[in-house]
Homo-oligomer: A and B are copies of this chain.
Amino acid sequence: MLLELNQRNLTLIQLVGFLLLHRDNMESFKEEKQGLSAQVWPTGPGSWTQVSCPCCMSSQVEPLVLIQLSEEIQPVTKKWIMSRIAAVEKDGGAQLLAHPGEDMSSDLIVVSAPRCTLLRATEDLGLCKPYRDGSMAAFSYQDRHSFSNIDDMQQFLTLAERQYIVKYELESLRALEDQRIPGVPEPQCNLKARENIFQKLEKAGVIQNVFPLHDQKRLRDLGREWYSKRKLWGQPLDSIQAYFGGTVAFYFSFLDFYTWALVPPAVLGVLLTLLMPSPVRSMAEGQELSGSPETDAKAGMEDPDHPSVSAHMVQAVFSMLWSTIFMELWKRRSSALSHRWGTLHLAERFAEPRPGFRGELGTNPVTGRVEPLFPEWQRNLRVGLVSFPVVGLFLGLVVLGMAGFYYFEGFISQLHQDSGGSFITTALLYLPSMAHIVYTNVLGNIYRNVALQLTEWENHREETSFQNHHTTKVLVFTFFNYFAVLFHIAFFKQDLPLLRKRLASLLIITQLINQFTELVVPFLVDWFFNTPEKEVKEDDPEADKLQAQGSLPTFPGLFAEYIELLVQFGYLSLFSCVYPLTAVLLLLNNVTEIRADAFKICKLFRKPFAAPVANMGVWQAAFEVLGFISVMSNCWLLLLSPRVKEFTLEAGLSTRNVLLFAIMVEHVLIVVKLILAFMIPDEPEWVKIDREKIEYHSLKALNQQKH
């Protein structure tokens, strides 16, 4: 049991540790909660840098992104960075607005974006915005006056979009020619032509952090609507998208949709549990089940109608249909959301490459811009010939670890028995588990590093491609870690009662830990906040408030959240026919999960950047792959169930024929799944029409254009 909980425990320990360590930061954060009454800072000499473009002039500028510099920063370096940020594009600048914070000697730069930069980037990113006739259209700078809300950037772009654009522009900053960064010691100060400036500064340690700033008022409003209200269902998805951005909003939308989707299997699970005979009920009553299939089979013989077989079958077929329909409907929902949020027509491949992208400088043959180039076949070779085998190797090591654990455990318990149970051998009994936990942890840490390095080395041009490859690598390993034991019990030990027991306890213990980390911990945090001696200081300098945001830990990303859902979905779709109450437990868990996740992202971490995205990316595929595996898994579990075994024995079928029959059933089920997936269109009709409209307009425009 320790095996599976091990990772979870670590997370929990980390969280509690963090809370204790950051008690002070919490306090300063608390103060800031009420601060910054005006989220817009005035312009004037000595504050924001100046813009030359008349349409971008404004007396009030909204601070969007904070750059934390090293404490030893020299004013000349800070000045140089600010000049790069503020310079116009043809001078190699980012054409943004920079504010020095308190004064030139502080280690902060606050960045904002003028109107023209925002609009041009909106076009570059390929965002769709409401056209004056009410439809969504790919934004065009030249035709900007035909779009709604074009005069108010706060309305036209969401806060998350504005902040993402600032990040995008900062990360696109490249040196025009070979030059030196003033005030930085020798080897690190040399910038080559077209070298990425921000990446260089981060490597040199000059820039410590870049993160988007919270808008405290809007955050409070969002929080109230999201997790403070005592309503059970529904989240303010549009507000989440506007405040946190695409990736975060897609996660919460999926969580929402998934929780709703759990209702039918939960109902079925309750029904089956009520109608089903002994095994599950005895489970629920806490009786120990016989471990051997033979005795279990005998128990079944007392029941002439084999209700357990039919319950198994109902559950297996239902679970297959449910997972297919669920994923198909989610795809529709996802494309509807993407339409609503204007990300149907993203143009990432024609935009600047991601900052980490390396390659020989050359002219991009498609766009004609000078940028690093790297041939795709070389990347594919790297993925296929190096990354794949390396990942395979690590999976092999996981299996090896598991095999070693079982072997070692058997050996020691034999020793313990032989020696008649001495104190030393009793202590030794814990050794295999301990060794395995250490092994798994070390392996996991090495793997995380290797996965990141490998993905960097694969040299992806687009950020989403990088994310997808990285996520896939970590995902496969994590998934393997979680499920290897269950698969081992199911298909090698072929011990269904043990599987059932293990699954139930995993689910229940997972519940408990989740409840603890996600309800108790927030409660602790709240307690930290409400200690009476810590009072708000409204007159704190702005810079301190900004620093306070910076001292929060970085948002760890949505990986852990998604993998939790995926593992849940795995329990449900792979093994639920063994333990029908799975869905009920998951449903209970998710209702609290939504609030807890919301609280975490709003309160406990620095605000993350979130790119505008059109879907869940690689997670979509992961859930679908799991759907396919679930067909096979359910099929084989059915075959292994003692009553089916006994039935085939009575019918006089040979093992080979039963297996061939099972393969046939499996393939028929997969075909049914494919037909279902085919019949439910991936996007609603109206989204499809709108998407094709954009494509058609783009074709027409191409044809009408004089080259």
Contact = CB atoms under 8 A, between A and B. Distances in A.
B701 A698 contact: yes
Given A123-B703, A366-B692, A703-B138, A675 B384 contact: yes
A381 interface: yes
A383 B375 CA distance: 41
Contacts of A699: 126, 138, 347, 350, 698
A381 B126 CA distance: 34
Interface stretch (A201-209, A269-277, A581-589, A655-663): A655-663
Given A380-B681, A685-B376, A705 B140 contact: yes
A697 interface: yes
Contacts of A655: 655-656
B679 A381 contact: yes
Contacts of A681: 376-377, 380
A676 interface: yes
A693 interface: yes
A625 B571 CA distance: 31
A367 interface: yes
B707 A146 contact: yes
A705 B704 contact: yes
A142 interface: yes
Contact of A491 (B365, B381, B660, B678): B660
A655 B133 CA distance: 69
A349 interface: yes
A456 to B, nearest CB: 19
A562 interface: no
Nearest to A137: B707
Contacts of A381: 679
A650 interface: no
A140 B384 contact: no
Interface string A375-390: 1110011011100100
Interface in A644-703: 655-656, 659-660, 675-676, 678-681, 685, 688-689, 692-694, 696-699, 701-703
Contacts of A388: 675
A706 interface: yes
A679 B491 contact: no
Nearest to A680: B380
Nearest to A693: B366
Contacts of A137: 707
A623 interface: no
A703 B142 contact: yes
A388 B655 CA distance: 32
Contact of A383 (B143, B367, B678): B678
A696 B350 contact: yes
Contacts of A143: 703, 705-707
Nearest to A367: B696
Nearest to A388: B675
A693 B699 CA distance: 13
A653 to B, nearest CB: 13
A126 B695 CA distance: 13
Contacts of A483: none
A702 B697 contact: yes
Given A375-B685, A656-B655, A693-B365, A679 B383 contact: yes
B703 A140 contact: yes
A704 B126 CA distance: 13
B140 A678 contact: no
B685 A141 contact: no
A680 B385 CA distance: 12
A384 B678 contact: yes
A704 to B, nearest CB: 5
A689 B365 contact: yes
A655 B653 CA distance: 14
A704 B380 contact: no
A18 B172 CA distance: 71
Contact of A140 (B140, B347, B367, B702): B702
A462 to B, nearest CB: 13
A380 B679 contact: yes
A679 B385 contact: yes
A260 to B, nearest CB: 22
A142 B697 CA distance: 16
Contacts of A139: 703
Interface in A343-394: 347, 349-350, 365-367, 375-377, 380-381, 383-385, 388
A368 to B, nearest CB: 9
A578 to B, nearest CB: 19
A685 B373 CA distance: 13
Residue picked from A137, A388, A707, most chain B C-beta under 10 Å = A707
A376 B678 CA distance: 11
B678 A380 contact: yes
A146 to B, nearest CB: 6
A631 to B, nearest CB: 14
A655 to B, nearest CB: 5
A355 B388 CA distance: 49
Contacts of A676: 384
Given A376-B681, A377-B681, A699-B126, A704 B384 contact: no
Nearest to A672: B388
Interface string A382-419: 01110010000000000000000000000000000000
Nearest to A366: B692
Contacts of A656: 655, 659
Nearest to A142: B704
Q: Which 5 A-B pairs have the closest CB atoms?
A: A384-B679, A698-B702, A701-B701, A140-B703, A701-B705
Interface of A: 123, 126, 131, 137-143, 146, 347, 349-350, 365-367, 375-377, 380-381, 383-385, 388, 491, 655-656, 659-660, 675-676, 678-681, 685, 688-689, 692-694, 696-699, 701-707
Given A388-B675, A698-B699, 5 more contacts: A143-B705, A381-B679, A697-B707, A702-B702, A705-B705
23 contacts: A123-B703, A140-B704, A140-B705, A142-B706, A143-B703, A143-B705, A347-B699, A349-B692, A350-B692, A366-B693, A366-B696, A376-B685, A377-B681, A380-B679, A380-B681, A381-B679, A383-B679, A388-B675, A491-B660, A655-B656, A697-B705, A698-B698, A701-B702
